[in-house]
Amino acid sequence: MTEPVLALRGISKRFGEVVVAEDLDLTVAPGEAIGIVGPNGAGKSTLFSMIAGEQKPDSGAISMLGRDISSLPAQDRTRIGIGRTFQIPRPFEGMSVFENLLVFATSGAGLHGHAAYTRAAETGERVGLGDVLNAQAGSLGLLARKRLELARGLASDPTVLLLDEVAGGLTEPEVADLVELIRGVQQEGLAIVWIEHVVHALTQTVRRLACLAGGRLIADGDPFEVLDDPVVREVYLGTTLTTEEDTA
Amino acid sequence: MNTPNSLLIRRSRRSSNLSFVALGLVAVGLVMMPYVVYQSVTSSMVMLFVLVIIASMWNLLAGFGGLVSIGQQAYIGIGAYTVIVMADLGVHPLIGVFFGALTSAMLALPTSWLAFRLRGDYFAVGTWVIAEVYRLVMIKFQFVGGADGKSLVGLSGLDPVMRSALTYWFALGIAILTVLGCFWLLRSRIGLALTAIRDDEVSARAGGIDATRIKRIVYLVSAAGCGLAGGILVVDALRVQPDAIFSVSWSAYMIFIVIIGGIGYLEGPLIGALVFFAMQQFLAEMGTWYLMLLGVLAICAAAWFPKGLWGAFSQKTGFRLFPVGYHVAQRFDTPVDSRAPLFRN
Ligand SMILES: Nc1ncnc2c1ncn2[C@@H]1O[C@H](COP(=O)(O)OP(=O)(O)OP(=O)(O)O)[C@@H](O)[C@H]1O
Ligand SMILES: [Mg+2]
């Protein structure tokens, strides 16, 4: 049996009274695509922060391909292949789009010289930022910033990519492009964990869906079964999931 | 696999080649100065070069590394005292200046272990306290003159005019090396990481950058630069006085220069040092008023030109004297989809 690309065991985390993870387990197989849904403030982004090493869980262990990475700092996790996007994009505002990508291609993917340039330009072109490679990242609008987040994640040559609401605010054709792009990279062998409120984008991409609520995964399995699960519908009642699903 | 050879990245633009010619001419002009102007002019310009050096160092540290130190005078003092001690041991003072850079960097390493535990305001205050500790330790040593300081031996035999010109050229040379060194550093891989840290440290770590390591490098480089500046000050004044050399006003000058000139731009400290130097020359008679004027100016600059004079100018014109960026001059000509996959695992 191959080692899971990511394995979270007994992860707990709270901010004061707010419980964002409680004895949470999650495994991601190599090349697998998993969607994560859950109500606002459930702790989805915090979960990514803990996997990426930006925040520490109160307890529990995280391993990647069989190696315990719980004590690795964020930069080392990027280098060994955990890519992440920030829900609220965090570009290097004073640098160009290309330079943003170059950081990830050099420090993240460990490339040098022309190989790094090529990767930076390729990932930029691939997400549709080819025309603005020389533009200052601080001058980009929200959509372009989101694309840049995705491209930066790709540029670091990850084994698993954590996507945090990259489809929010996109038009239908843009969502379709995004889905095609993400399916494309997944077919090249990249494992994907995708937090998204735009549920139909998820159902077109993933074969497994988990729902995070109250610090636990209250459902985990086939996307349509999870979405039909009465418990999941309960936590989502009157929130984005139901409306998105009904319009989809 | 087809390699997209058509991708072309440029590190400089035509305008910056011109600016290099202009800078070269300025440098040549500065080298000729001792032949054309009075000695009083060149000897006062040594201070300009010292200001350029220490402000460039503070800009690296605070403008890029986000390390707002108000204790860099520690390394100015250490550099100065190194020259004094080495001269007593028979080392030529101009050589001693380079040892000053070395001792400053060496002491900066253990200091960084301590100071880097502090964040934000605490770091600023902590570095100041550390500088004071260095001063207090220094005046305990009688062999370097205690609280009175000590004179420099080894240069007094020289003809005063010759010595003054030599000091001028030496200071000019080190200032040029410092500016070029900063330029080289920012163009390197470390510079790319440093610029990313300047913009967003959390994001930089997510990009695979070991921010703490990069900051430590910058802290050591900046200590070495301040050590050089301290050495020049001793060579110029022929003596060291602990309260003056370890004075926190050095930090005030650095901050003023960098804020006025443009923080986070290599060009900022150059412009800022010129402005500051000019003000010093014309307004020094005003005494305390002059210091208050400086403070008011710095606050106004911070309010209206948050990126300083250079920042305001370069944002309007897009002009950079020192091109450190990467410009995509030509993109791929093959369509994206026909190229090799991004992931091979
Ligand atoms: N650094 C922090 N300090 C204190 N509380 C925090 C911190 N980060 C997140 N929280 C809180 O933890 C909870 C979970 O936040 P998180 O951003 O992980 O939610 P989310 O599931 O991603 O929500 P959304 O769908 O709105 O993005 C929220 O209540 C948030 O206010
Ligand atoms: Mg979130």
* Measured CA distances, A35 to A224, B20, B130 (Å): 12, 53, 51
Q: Which residue of A has its CA nearest to B196?
A: A92
Is the Cβ of A149 closer than 8 Å to some Cβ of chain B? no
Phi/psi for A96 (5° steps) reads: -75, 165
Contact A98 B326 (CB under 8 A): yes
| Of the candidates B324, B2, B8, B337, the residue with the CA atom closest to the CA atom of residue A114 | B8
The pLDDT score that the predictor gives to residue B302 is 82
Sign of CA dihedral A195, A198, A201, A204: positive
Extended strands (E) in A102-245: 160-164, 191-195, 208-213, 216-221
Number of structural domains found in chain A:
2
Q: Is residue A34 part of a domain?
A: yes
- Picking from A110, A141, A157, the residue at the C-terminal end of a domain is A157
CB nearest A52 (choices: B206, B209, B336): B206
Which positions in chain A touch B264 (Cβ < 8 Å)?
94
Q: Which ligand is nearest to the CA of A36?
A: 1
Q: Which domains does chain B have, with CATH numbers?
A: 7-330 (1.10.3470)
Residue B345: CB atoms within 10 A of its CB come to 13
B196 min Cα distance to partner chain A (Å): 6
Q: Is residue A86 part of a domain?
A: no
| Of the candidates A212, A218, A170, the residue with the CA atom closest to the CA atom of residue A193 | A212
- A18 plus A67 within the same structural domain: yes
How many angstroms separate the CA atoms of A146 and A144, rounded? 5
How many angstroms separate the CA atoms of B60 and B277, rounded? 20
Residue whose entry in the numeric block shows the structure tokens 């915090």: A46
| Domain residue limits at A180 | 6-81+158-247
Q: Is residue A172 part of a domain?
A: yes
Phi/psi for A83 (5° steps) reads: -100, 145
How many angstroms separate the CA atoms of B343 and A181, rounded? 13
Contact B341 A188 (CB under 8 A): yes
Q: Which residue of B has its CA nearest to A111?
A: B189
Per residue of chain A (248 residues), what is the pLDDT tens digit?
Answer: 588 999 999 999 999 989 999 999 999 999 999 999 999 999 999 999 999 999 999 999 999 999 999 999 999 999 999 999 999 999 999 999 999 999 999 999 999 999 999 999 999 999 999 999 999 999 999 889 999 999 999 999 999 999 999 998 888 888 998 999 999 999 999 999 999 999 999 999 999 999 999 899 999 999 999 988 888 888 876 555 544 444 44
- A140 plus A203 within the same structural domain: no
Contact A189 B344 (CB under 8 A): yes
How many angstroms separate the CA atoms of B59 and B71, rounded? 14
How many angstroms separate the CA atoms of B281 and B297, rounded? 16
Collect contacts of B28-36 with beta carbons under 8 A, ≥24 apart: B30/B172, B31/B169, B31/B172, B33/B168, B34/B164, B34/B165, B34/B168, B34/B169
How many angstroms separate the CA atoms of B164 and A105, rounded? 50
B65, B220 Cβ separation under 8 angstroms? no
- A67 plus A41 within the same structural domain: yes
**Tokens read off for B212:** 């703490």
pLDDT in tens, B217-264: 999 999 999 999 999 999 999 999 999 999 999 999 999 999 999 999
The pLDDT score that the predictor gives to residue B148 is 87
A208, A35 Cβ separation under 8 angstroms? yes
- A142 plus A181 within the same structural domain: no
- A47 plus A74 within the same structural domain: yes
How many angstroms separate the CA atoms of A219 and A227, rounded? 9
Classify residue A164 by its DSSP letter. E
How does residue B126 score in pLDDT terms, banded at 50, 70 and 90? very high
The pLDDT score that the predictor gives to residue A242 is 44
Which positions in chain A touch B205 (Cβ < 8 Å)?
53-54, 73-75, 78
Q: With 60 as the cut, is the pLDDT of residue B186 above it?
A: yes
Q: Is residue A57 part of a domain?
A: yes
CATH for A166? 3.40.50.300
How many angstroms separate the CA atoms of B248 and B70, rounded? 7
Task: Tell me if residue A160 falls in helix, strand or coil.
Answer: strand
Which residues surround ligand 1 with Cβ inside 6 Å? A 15, 18, 20, 38, 40-46, 87
Q: What is the dihedral of CA A11, A16, A19, A24, to 10 degrees?
A: 0
Higher pLDDT, B288 or B321: B321
- A190 plus A221 within the same structural domain: yes
Q: Is residue A196 part of a domain?
A: yes
Q: What is the dihedral of CA B103, B106, B107, B113, to 10 degrees?
A: 170
- Picking from A134, A157, A180, the residue at the C-terminal end of a domain is A157
Residue whose entry in the numeric block shows the structure tokens 């804020």: B259
Q: Is residue A219 part of a domain?
A: yes
Q: Which residue of B has its CA nearest to A189?
A: B345
The pLDDT score that the predictor gives to residue B307 is 87
Q: Is residue A1 part of a domain?
A: no
| Mutate which of A36, A46, A86 for ligand 1 pocket (most atoms within 8 A of beta carbon) | A46
- A119 plus A166 within the same structural domain: no
The pLDDT score that the predictor gives to residue B283 is 78
A159 min Cα distance to partner chain B (Å): 8
Interface residue of B3, B215, B266, B342 to substitute, partner A, most A CBs within 10 Å: B342
Task: Tell me if residue A29 falls in helix, strand or coil.
Answer: coil
Q: Which residue of A has its CA nearest to B318?
A: A136
How does residue B80 score in pLDDT terms, banded at 50, 70 and 90? very high
| Of the candidates A125, A108, A102, the residue with the CA atom closest to the CA atom of residue A161 | A108
For residue B335, report the distance from its CA to the centre of ligand 1, in Å.
Answer: 41
The H or E element that residue B94 is part of is helix B93-115
Q: Which residues contact B186 (CB under 8 A, 6 or more apart)?
A: B64, B194, B195, B266, B322, B324
- Picking from A157, A172, A205, the residue at the C-terminal end of a domain is A157
- A148 plus A174 within the same structural domain: no
How does residue B336 score in pLDDT terms, banded at 50, 70 and 90? low
Task: Tell me if residue B219 falls in helix, strand or coil.
Answer: helix
3-state SS, one letter per residue, for B133-169: HHHHHHCCCHHHCHHHCEECCCCCCCCHHHHHHHHHH
* Measured CA distances, B159 to B44, B92, B166, B240, B298 (Å): 18, 16, 10, 21, 41
> What is the end-to-end Cα distance of chain A in Å, rounded?
38
pLDDT in tens, B159-177: 888 899 999 999 999 999 9
- A139 plus A120 within the same structural domain: yes
- A68 plus A186 within the same structural domain: yes
- A167 plus A141 within the same structural domain: no
Phi/psi for A30 (5° steps) reads: -55, 135
Q: pTM of the predicted model, to two decimals?
A: 0.88
- A202 plus A100 within the same structural domain: no
Q: Is residue A87 part of a domain?
A: no
Put simply, the chain A residues between 14 and 73 with a CB less than 8 A from any chain B CB are 52-54, 73
Count of all residues that appear for chain B in the document: 345
